[in-house]
Amino acid sequence: MNKLFFYNTLTRKKEEFKPIKKGRVGLYTCGPTVYNYAHIGNLRSYVFADLLVRTLRYNYGEKNVKWAMNITDVDDKTIRDSKIKYPDLAAMAALKKFTAEFEKYFWEDLKKLNINKPNVITHAADKKYIGKMQDLVTKIFKAGFAYIKDGSVYFDVAKYGQKHKYGLLVEIDVSKLKTGASVDADEYEKENAQDFVLWKVEKPGEPSWEFKLNGQKLPGRPGWHIECSAMGQAELGMPFDIHTGGIDLKFPHHENEIAQSVIGYECESPVKFWLHNEHLLVDGQRMGKRFNNFYTIKDLKAKDIDPLAYRFLCLQTGYGKTMNFTWEALKAAEEGLKHLYNQAKQLYFLWPENNGINNIEEGKKKISKKFNQKFLEAINNDLNMPKALAVVQELLKSNLTQEEKYTTLFKFDEVLGLNLNSIILDPSSNWQVEELKIGRERARKEKNWAEADKLRLQIEKLGYMVEDTKDGQRISKK
Ligand code: AMP
Ligand code: ZN
């Protein structure tokens, strides 16, 4: 068994990962707030989570990794926007209808990026989980770490800070905490750390659930942080192995998740490994809905860019590094991906006895142990995907047989998720022509007209015509 290492935000170190229960891994990913289309910054988080899950499965086996993700379908933003979109519906009906629409788009986007579906998908507004959240609020209250104020329930951070460390994922100056001051908003800066809301009092015209605490009727709805604590515990137990999210979730969301679980589930450390992906930036600023600098999968499609090119772009940067988005970088990634597809097709079509690929067991024997080991070392080293891609290129350039290269490359795609299989099975495209087209595009960009003409002749020899238009080359069958 190869060792796995991940950078753990909790210890701020790269550490060896060992599951709590031998051979089985449980992980939880903070899912989207479904009030809008996901932008490609959000989607970077899910590409990262998918790569992590695929890497864990590559090591522990498909069935031994349980991946849970929530859908935040009740919070300040979903309620606000559902009322605007469906003013004539009852509050709960409007919320359900509104969030279901955006959830549908979310899964469609993930599919286009070849992100697997989690084993368990939990909805925060599901009655079953609302009950779990209420149980957790009750436990925290009974333990003396929560209080009721104007019908809402708040977590007592100062009291918690006396016994436990508040500020595990980010540095917090606890002395600056304003005792007794509370905050209702789900998102706030660490400079404004205060008692946060566990349960929010019902507001007229907003969806709410019955709740009784300490003999008082408290109709209302859960705060954002309690949602993830309760759903994570419900699906994975406590403690569990890994929790993921974007770095903006470290505080307050994940810090508060820890505090709630420490008290409510009497668990010293609810999660063993906290993994956070860095942001996707545009001109140096985080891509975000509130900054109005975001792109969605629809925008990619409008430019006729294969969403998998974005996945390929994500693979080229470690998840722990910021990544600056430009259309040029995405186009270059698309070209790189096409080139890889052509290399895969070439291997397939030039391999004389390619009927063997249907025999999985036979195929497995052909996987290069040496390259598989190199690949494992890259992915197991905190998901070093740029290195893994370098191993792919090394493999393709090596002097292994076609068969070995092919089977090894396809094995790697279990992790990379670039959908090589579907490309091979697509008979409509001719890899040789596509490869020449890419070369000619490059030659034209470099104004190397002699090379471009040479490549044109080669394309024509294969029975195709080349037309140069203002949108680039158009190639058709003669
Ligand atoms: P939200 O739908 O806003 O709850 O966010 C979903 C996920 O996207 C969270 O894990 C965020 O941390 C993450 N996220 C938001 N903006 C970005 C960004 N620009 N780059 C990478 N991840 C992001
Ligand atoms: Zn969460």
Residue 370 sits in the same domain as residue 460 = no
Q: What is the pLDDT of residue 152?
A: 97
pLDDT class for 356, splitting at 50, 70, 90? Answer: very low
The last residue of one of the domains, among 277, 305, 320, is 277
Q: How far is the CA of 46 from the centre of ligand 1 (A)?
A: 9
* Cα 307 to middle of ligand 2, angstroms: 26
d(CA 229, CA 224): 9
Give domain status of residue 456, yes or no. yes
For Cα atoms 198, 126, 249, give the angle at the middle one, nearest 5 degrees. 50
Ligand 1 atom nearest to CA at 244:
10
Strands (E), 145-250: 146-149, 152-155, 182-183, 195-201, 212-213, 216-217, 220-222, 240-246
Written as one string, the DSSP assignment of 234-275 is HHH-SSEEEEEEEGGGIIIIIHHHHHHHHHHS--S-SEEEEE
Q: Are residues 78 and 147 in the same domain?
A: yes
pLDDT value at 153 more than 70: yes
**Comparing 296 with 461, which gets the higher pLDDT?**
296
The 3-state DSSP class for residue 23 equals: coil
**CB 28 within 8 Å of CB 34:** no
Identify the bridge partners of residue 333 per DSSP, sorted by sequence position: none
State whether residue 245 is helix, strand or coil. strand
Asked if residue 36 belongs to a domain, the reply is yes
Query: Is 227 within a domain?
Result: yes
Mean pLDDT of 145-163: 96
Distance, in Å, from the CA atom of 216 to the CA atom of 151, rounded to the nearest integer, reads: 9
Residue 10, domain member (yes or no):
no
Position 426 pLDDT exceeds 80: no
pLDDT digits (tens, 9 = 90+) for 253-309: 999 999 999 999 999 999 999 999 999 999 999 999 889 999 999 999 999 999 999
Among 97-106, 285-294, 463-472, which is the least confidently predicted range?
A: 463-472
pLDDT beyond 50 at 72: yes
Ligand 2 centroid to residue 353 C-alpha, Å: 50
Residue 359 has pLDDT above 60, yes or no: no
262 and 361, same domain (yes or no): no
Query: For residue 69, which ligand has an atom nearest its CA?
Result: 2
What is the band of 441 on the pLDDT scale with cuts at 50, 70, 90? confident
For the segment 46-55, the average pLDDT, to the nearest whole number, is 98
Q: Write the residue with the smallest CA distance to atom 9 of ligand 1.
A: 246
Domain boundary among 424, 443, 467: 424
Q: Do residues 63 and 143 both lie within one domain?
A: yes
Judgement on whether residues 159 and 223 belong to the same structural domain of the protein: yes
Q: Counting atoms of ligand 1 from 1, which one is nearest the CA of 42?
A: 8
Between 40-60 and 91-112, two packed helices, what is the crossing angle to 10 degrees? 60
Give the domain extent around 86: 23-277
Q: How many domains does one find in the chain? A: 3
Q: Give the Å distance between the CA of 452 and the centre of ligand 2.
A: 52
Residues 6+ positions from 9 with CB-CB distance below 8 Å? 169, 250, 274, 275, 276
* pLDDT over 90 at 470, yes or no: no
**Residues 293 and 255 occupy one common structural domain:** no
pLDDT at 1 over 80: no
Q: Does residue 174 share a domain with residue 259?
A: yes
Q: Which residues pair with 222 in a beta bridge?
A: 199
Residue pair 275/243 in contact by the 8 Å Cβ criterion: yes
User: Same domain, yes or no, for 420 and 444?
Assistant: no
Q: What is the CATH number of the domain that holds 341?
A: 1.10.730.10
CATH number at residue 219: 3.40.50.620
Q: Is residue 121 situated within a structural domain?
A: yes
CA 401 / ligand 1 centre spacing (Å): 43
Q: Same domain for 392 and 243?
A: no
pLDDT: which is higher, 192 or 120 = 120
Does residue 357 register a pLDDT over 50? no
Global confidence as pTM: 0.90
Q: What percent of the chain has pLDDT over 70?
A: 95
Per the domain annotation, does 3 fall within a domain?
no
What is the average pLDDT score of the chain?
93
pLDDT of residue 363: 64
24, 60 contact by CB (below 8 A) = yes
- Is 5 part of any domain? no
User: 262, 277, 292 — which closes off a domain?
Assistant: 277
Ligand found nearest the CA of 229: 2
Do 266 and 361 sit in the same domain of this protein? Answer: no
For residues 471-478, average pLDDT: 81
Q: Give the residues across from 324 on adjacent strands.
A: 281
Q: Which residues line ligand 1 (CB under 6 A)?
A: 30, 32-33, 41-42, 44-45, 245-246, 248-249, 277, 279-280, 286-288
254 and 297 fall within a common domain: no
Does 449 lie in the same domain as 358?
Answer: no
pLDDT category at 251 given cuts 50, 70, 90 is very high
Which residue has the CA at smallest separation from atom 8 of ligand 1?
A: 42
Distance 441 CA to ligand 2 centre (A): 45
Q: What is the CA radius of gyration of the chain?
A: 26
What is the length of the chain? 478
9 inside domain = no
Indicate the top mutation candidate among 9, 48, 247, 248 to test ligand 1's pocket, ranked by most ligand atoms within 8 A of CB: 248
